[in-house]
Structure 1
């Protein structure tokens, strides 16, 4: 499934803001602008504000209030990291962030597990046949993760 293209960090923040409004969530955003401020910009060199191509990189960290606890880090390289109740989803394409959040807040995300090999996973299905799955490393599940368990 094609996701709406989010060409900039700011467009992704705007999309997250709409989802926060839709699900009645509080939201705080921290912006880091400039190669000397963003975490993915080692190639720009020490004390450089612009990337080698002359652009001004923009990174944002978004915290969404409510349950589950969700944070989104948007990187200037068109990728993102989403953490849901302590479960980290690294290197997500920035374009999937809105669908990912709608899956979490819309009740589609769920926890699966098995006895062998032992483990539990947080599964986040997106429209189409796209699914993201991460191993839950904590010993005890948070209340939200426990409610999301499916047999």
Structure 2
């Protein structure tokens, strides 16, 4: 697993994945404490954190199906949204593997009969998985085609 020390390194990795899978990619950047979503208390015009660092957040949206977007936070984590299902707190180093798993069709929806429920399961390296609860009404055609 590659270590992605910065938001820009993660964006570069996602651009590479987009090229590998022939996907369009759109990237927007928010740089500065007054621009990033988790630092709204920084105040207007305050661009650096108290430690002197310049926080960098990026939003990446892939074209095609499944609909997939990634919000990379300056705190070494990400929010990945697959077909409207939010998968929060993904480690930045796991983002490329997560995206590849979805694009390689390894992600699936596990249906549970009792109590009823559905979960998006995304395999990650090292025999790990990310498991996210899905509201029943959120089943899109892409997700419905992956129910096990």
The two structures have a TM-score, normalised by structure 1, of 0.93
The answer (yes or no) to whether the contact 2:85–2:138 under 8 Å persists in 1 is: no
- SS for the counterpart of 1:54 is coil
Rate the CA distance shift 1:70–1:140 in 2: closer, same or farther, 3 A.
Answer: closer
Any conservation in 1 of the 2:25–2:60 contact (CA below 8 Å)? Answer: yes
Q: Secondary structure at the match of 1:120?
A: strand
Structure 2 unaligned segments of length 5 or more: list them: none
String of CA shifts for 1:21-55, please: whole Å, max 9, x gaps. 11110000110000000012256x31211111111
Deviation at 1:130, TM superposition (A): 1.1
1:12 to 10, 13, 33: 10
Q: Does 1:46 align with 2:60?
A: no
Provide, for residues 100-120 of structure 1, a one-character-per-residue CA deviation record: whole Å limited to 9, x for no partner: 001000011001111101011
Residue matched to 1:78? 76
Gaps of 5+ in 1: none
CA distance in 2: counterparts of 1:140 and 1:83, whole angstroms: 12
User: Which of structure 1's runs of 4+ aligned residues deviate more than 3 A?
Assistant: none
